[in-house]
Structures are given as structure tokens and as C-alpha cells.
Amino acid sequence: MIRFTAPLTAFALLTTLAAGSQAQTPAEPRIDQRQERQEQRIDQGVKSGELTRREARRLERQQHSVDRAEQRALSDGKLSKPEAARIEHRQDRGSARIHRQKHDRQARPAGA
């Protein structure tokens, strides 16, 4: 993992662990797994050069925003179906952004 994603990944891990102490709704594990996969896609894009550092930072901030929305939704101890649907919609948009940025033919400068 690269240096600038470590704080966000650490935060995501801590919030996931904290949320794990509460009872999970059926949608919650799916949301958490998808967040992890999307973060892995960003990391892979940086390693392969498909994402510039600026693009990766922006995508990581967006993923962090989804994490915060999930935590707000879970603040009452449960994740309702409408809350889960809103979070999954945000994840859909985030996934599309990751795809767009990875395939926009921009590349990191050599040696960066």
C-alpha cells in the first residue's frame, strides 16, 4: 500500500472493527466488502500506473465519504433498507468513477 492511502485505510479498518461490535444487518457485510474491493481497485490502479496520485487521492476521499455515510446510518445501531440503498447508490457512483479514472488514458509521470 502506498503512503497517502494508509491513513484512510487505517480509518476504514478501525471504523469497520468498531461497527463489528454492533449487530450487522444483511446489507452491512455486503457494503463493507464492496468498500474493501473498491479500495483495492484504487490501490491496484496506482501500482499499475492507471491512476495518477491526484486521481487516487480524490477517489480515496470519495470512498472515505461513503464510509462516513455508513457510520452515520449506523449511529442508531441499525441500517435500514433505505439507508442501505442510499449507501449502495453512492458505491455505484464511486465504482463508476474508479472505472472512468482508471481508463481515461492518463498515466503517472515516469519515476513518480
Q: Write out the chain's pLDDT in tens, 112 residues.
A: 455 565 656 566 555 555 554 455 678 899 999 999 999 999 999 999 999 999 999 999 999 999 999 999 999 999 999 999 999 999 999 999 999 999 988 766 665 5
Quote the DSSP letter at residue 77: S
Give the Cα separation of 22 and 29 in Å (integer): 12
- 70, 14 in Cβ contact below 8 A? no
Give the Cα separation of 24 and 74 in Å (integer): 9
Query: What are the backbone dihedrals phi and psi of residue 107, each rounded to the nearest 5 degrees, phi first?
Result: -135, 155
Please report whether residue 64 resides in a domain. yes
Q: Number of structural domains, the chain? A: 1
- 35: containing domain: 3-9+26-102
Please report whether residue 18 resides in a domain. no
pTM for the complete prediction? 0.73
